[in-house]
Structure 1
Amino acid sequence: MTQPLNGITVLDFTTLLPGPLAALMLAEAGADVIKIERPGGEDMREGPPRWDGASINFGMLNRGKKSIQLDLKAKDAIARLRPLIEKADVLIEQFRPGVMERLGVGYDAIRKINPRIVYCSISGYGQKGPRSGEAGHDINYIASTGLLALSPGTQQSPTIPPALIADIAGGSFPAVMNILLGLRQRDLTGEGSYIDIAMTDAMFTFTWHALAMAAGGYGYPGPGEARLTGGSPRYQIYPTKDGKLVACGSLEPKFWASFLDAIGMTKDEVNEKDAEGAKARIASRIREQTADHWQPILAKADCCATIVASVEEALRDTQFADRGLFEHQLKGPSGATTMALPVPIAPGYRAKPGAVATAELGADDKLLG
């Protein structure tokens, strides 16, 4: 089967989540991904949770890759890497700024060996600026860009976001997008390029609504004040009688009218000028009945209101199964199989569903010089 990235070789120097996920998506589209690990492998190999005697987190993120072990501080490291550097199309690294240069594998050094390479660095704050060397994780990046402040919960009960937004939407996705752009540019110019991905940069894209409000003269919204962060009864989460939740996204007038009709309320009862009062009255009505009561009513109303599903419930939803999201499998060390991580690569660009193992540590050391 011919895939879009057949013939593309990727050197993956990354660990943990952002870089490995980016490299995984390239692998799923047909690229030959070679993971360069320190002797003994990256830390996530030994982390929980475990499945089939190995880390399932590592397995899901490194399915279908190759693995070599190399001490980048060794005197012969560059010489041993050279054959791979010469044939590589893409290099992805995720060290703090300056580390790859100190190890002798920074962009300038690699470009001298292979001027056609697309070299992508992923870091928290980018390769330059006063905070470029600052340590951080996802929660720090969304905190420092104002995104977390838009919906942090209450002082009494602050909310931890359910998704690693900076890691994936600020690291993995922009890395893949720009690597593909870099490869396309190379098609046109014959030259490679350097890509500086800062996970924090994309977080400002996610604050678009707050930026638009300020630009329009309405000021920056406070915590939970904006229409899409809790300030409107139309875009809200309402608890049911049995402790489940209704996610209401009835923003447009027709959906809002249908939602109110479905729950037996009128616009006169819900005065949106008093947003807090409107939210309280709707919450009181929703809390009168169970999720099982509301689910068919809201579904029939087609009003952008949904019962919040658990991950386990979502996996049983035929909508997602019918789309083939869970057909690909991860093969463990014993030959056991489990669901592979779903990735947003169009089915026509991926290999046919099947069981594929993760990168076995050092199994491909023969690729080194």
Structure 2
Amino acid sequence: MGDTALPPLLSGLRVLDLTRNLPGPFATRLLADLGATIVKVEPPEGDPARPLAALFEALNHGKECRTIDFRSSADLDRLRAWVQEADVLLDSFRPGVLQGLGLDAATLHALNPRLVMVSITGYGQHGPWAQKAGHDLNFMALSGVLDQMRAPTGELALSNVQWGDLAGGSAMACIAVLAAVFEAQKTGQGRHLDVSMVHGLHAQLVMPQATGAMLAPLLGRRPGAGEDLLNGVLPCYNIYATQDGRHLAVGALEFKFWKVACEVFERPDWVQRHWQRGQLPGSPDCAALRAEVAQLVASQPLAVWSERFAQADACVTPVLTLEEAQAHPLFADGARPQPWAEIA
């Protein structure tokens, strides 16, 4: 196993970060984790996340913070001077704000032709929604993602992970930055790219779009809550309550994992009752098996199932609380502080 410390892959990349709140700062934190130098530019009142000290530190550690009064022509001149030394400028203003500040792409590329500009917006630069305000919940709702986050009984779940901000915004912004920097290094010419969070989320509806179309002929309609391939219809891929009110995540989607899971469950009669062995999703036998698995899992506390499955290669795991996850060997004591690590 290689060292978990990531080498500075982006060493020498200089980023001006004009973003605030969550999506942009997390994007530039990821770039910083990869070795980039981040200059965080804030208005006199500071980033709105500053009062939330723990959040601000998590998003902005290792960044150099500078203050600019965006209403001051002299301060904007200072910012333009910084642009000449930068590789990337990231912002999260509404469309048109950069132009109003004299920081449009034509102006900045005249100062620094290789500058990569990435703007994170809620709904894109153009169209009837371009100037509308929005937060993660709105992006989730309008993209169709929130509708897919339902309990089997149909209730919507209000996620405490901000998928619109982070997956639709931060991750997509990092991809845009790296792709445009790659081109700028070859051509000497930067670009101005827009990252729309609602469109970034919608692009990630790969599975429900595909599996919904696949199951629609069987159901006579598109699947709803608890009816799609990965949201509850399959006994082998589901969440089951344990005796003590905790939950067991059974992810034995492939037959080989389901076979091992059945061995641990001590139910060899379940082995062939799998979708890859002809059991139709949504069929009476499928529903019956789901109920049987639920009854068995509910007969023991989570600790028992965790111990039984600890050494089994079955894709069955306990559902951990945030505190339990932080103490897990995967994450405890900085075991793996970043998603990336070099392989020896």
TM over 0.5: yes
Of the three residues 20, 23, 31, the one matched with 1:18 is 23
Counterpart in the other structure of 1:202: 200
Amino acid of the residue matched to residue 270 of structure 2?
A: K
Aligned partner of 1:293 in structure 2 is: 304
| Equivalence for 1:332 | none
- Which residue in 1 is equivalent to 2:254? 252
Q: Deviations over 1:25-50 (max 9, x none)?
A: 21222222111101031111012xxx
Equivalent in the alignment of 1:239:
241
Structure 2 counterpart SS, 1:230 = coil
1:42 paired residue number? 47
Contact 1:151 1:224 in 2 (8 A): no
CA contact (8 A) 2:149 2:156 kept: no
What secondary structure is seen at the aligned counterpart in 1 of 2:50? helix
Residue 130 of structure 2: aligned partner: 132
Partner secondary structure for residue 58 of structure 1: helix
**After superposition, what is the alpha-carbon deviation per residue over 1:111-148, rounded to whole angstroms, capped at 9, x for unaligned?**
22211100000011111122222222112212212122
TM-score by length of 2: 0.87
- Return the alpha-carbon distance in structure 2 between the equivalents of residues 215 and 158 of structure 1: 22
Distance 1:164 1:134 in 2: 19
Deviations 1:228-253 (A, max 9, x none): 11121111110111111100101111
Which residue in 2 is equivalent to 1:213? Answer: 211
Q: Which amino acid aligns with 2:295?
A: S
Distance 1:45 1:210 in 2: 37
Cα distance change, pair 278–22 in 1 and its aligned pair in 2 (3 A): same
1:42–1:162: structure 2 CA closer, same or farther, 3 Å change rule? closer
Whether contact under 8 Å (2:17, 2:25) holds in the other structure is yes
- Equivalents in 2 of 1:245, 1:155: separation in Å? 17
SS at match of 1:115: coil
One of 142, 164, 167 as aligned partner of 1:166: 164
Task: Give the one of 303, 306, 325 matched to 2:317.
Answer: 306
Give the aligned residue type for 1:37: E
The question of 1:71 aligning with 2:89 is answered: no
Matched, 1:100 2:103: no
Quick one: which amino acid aligns to residue 160 of structure 1?
A: L
Q: CA 1:261–1:4 in 2, change beyond 3 Å: closer, same or farther?
A: closer
Aligned equivalents of 1:155 and 1:270: distance in 2?
24
Deviating more after overlay: 181-190 vs 137-146: 137-146
Q: 1:224 to 1:103 in 2, by over 3 A?
A: farther
Corresponding residue to 2:32 among 27, 33, 41: 27
Cα distance in 1 for residues equivalent to 2:78 and 2:87: 18
Question: Cα offset for 1:88?
Answer: 0.9
- Aligned with 2:41: secondary structure? strand
Change (3 A) 1:286 1:18: same
Identity %: 34
Q: Compared with structure 1, are the counterparts of its residues 191 and 169 closer, same or farther at alpha carbon in structure 2 (3 Å cutoff)? A: same
Q: CA separation in 1, counterparts of 2:325 and 2:130?
A: 39
Match of 2:270 in 1: 267
> Are 1:211 and 1:220, in contact at CA under 8 Å, matched by a contact in 2?
no
Shift of 1:256: 1.5
So what's the TM-score if we normalise by structure 1? 0.81
Whole-angstrom distance in 1 between the partners of 2:102 and 2:187 = 26
Asked if the contact 1:111–1:117 (Cα under 8 Å) also holds between the matched residues in 2, the reply is yes
Name 1:9's counterpart in structure 2. 14
Q: 1:366 maps to which residue?
A: none
Give the distance between the partners of 2:212 and 2:237, measured in 1 at CA: 20
CA–CA separation in structure 1 for the residues paired with 2:227 and 2:121: 31
**How many angstroms does 1:201 deviate by?**
1.7
The one-letter code of the counterpart of 1:46 is P
Tell me how far apart the structure 1 counterparts of residues 330 and 76 of structure 2 sit (CA, whole Å).
49
Structure 1 distance, partners of 2:179, 2:185, is: 10
In 2, Cα distance between equivalents of 1:322 and 1:59: 19
Structural RMSD (CA): 2.4
